[in-house]
Amino acid sequence: MKRMITLLLALVLALSLAACGQKEDNIGGDTAGDQSVDLRAAYEAGIKQVQDELGDNAPVLLEETAVELLNSYYPGLENAKLKQGVFFISPTATSCEVSMVEAESAADAELVRQSFQARVDSMANDTMYPDEAAMWKNCATVTVNGNYVVLEVLPEGCTVPDAFLAKFVDFLLSLCYDGLTDRQRRETHPWTTPRL
């Protein structure tokens, strides 16, 4: 009976590690087949990090799904073919914003980048709200990684989560290694370094 349970547990462990290995194929931002980073999960993990750091001062962001509004916020976005996207915008007068997109091709990713950059430029030149314009000038970033494009504007001094900079390596590895000790991580994938 003990052997049967041991074999069953070993099989479950092998299957779970194999599932994590498939997620690592997408680390560079290139997709293999239909594999891609779950942008909603990446956003939720990133915004949790911001909330943990800033506490009550963390920005409140609501998801925007109305196509007409998104097209007005991001001129030219309607011309890009997207696999997925999440758009979180502040409902108040603050300039905090996180938009994450996976485009279908490099050309579409460039269209999204241009659209996001046009938003940053427009908001940075807004003379009606100079404090908010300064936040867009000093704190906004548009990052491209393969077919992924991310626009983030977070309060000054806030540590920007890797997922909000289109760096999905740590996010993907955390999904695979959640609950493992540093030694177990090194034994599973010796080329990775433990987190400090």
Take residue 40 and report the two structure tokens written for it.
């909603």
Which residues lie across from 141 on neighbouring strands? 152
The predicted-structure confidence for 174-184, as pLDDT tens digits, reads as follows 545 445 454 44
pTM of the model: 0.69
**3-class DSSP state for residue 127?**
coil
The predicted-structure confidence for 20-78, as pLDDT tens digits, reads as follows 444 333 333 444 445 689 999 999 999 999 999 999 999 999 999 999 999 999 999 99
Lookup result for tokens 């370094």: 193
Sign of the four-CA dihedral 174, 168, 38, 58: positive
Report how far residue 7's alpha carbon sits from residue 185's, in angstroms, rounded to the nearest whole number. 22
Which residues lie across from 152 on neighbouring strands? 98, 141
Report how far residue 153's alpha carbon sits from residue 136's, in angstroms, rounded to the nearest whole number. 7
Q: Which residues contact 100 (CB under 8 A, 6 or more apart)?
A: 39, 42, 43, 85, 86, 87, 148, 149, 150, 151, 163, 164, 166
**3-class DSSP state for residue 84?**
strand
Q: What's the N-to-C CA distance of the chain in angstroms?
A: 40
**Which band of pLDDT confidence, cut at 50, 70 and 90, is reported for residue 95?**
confident
- The average pLDDT across 184-188 equals 44
- The average pLDDT across 149-164 equals 89
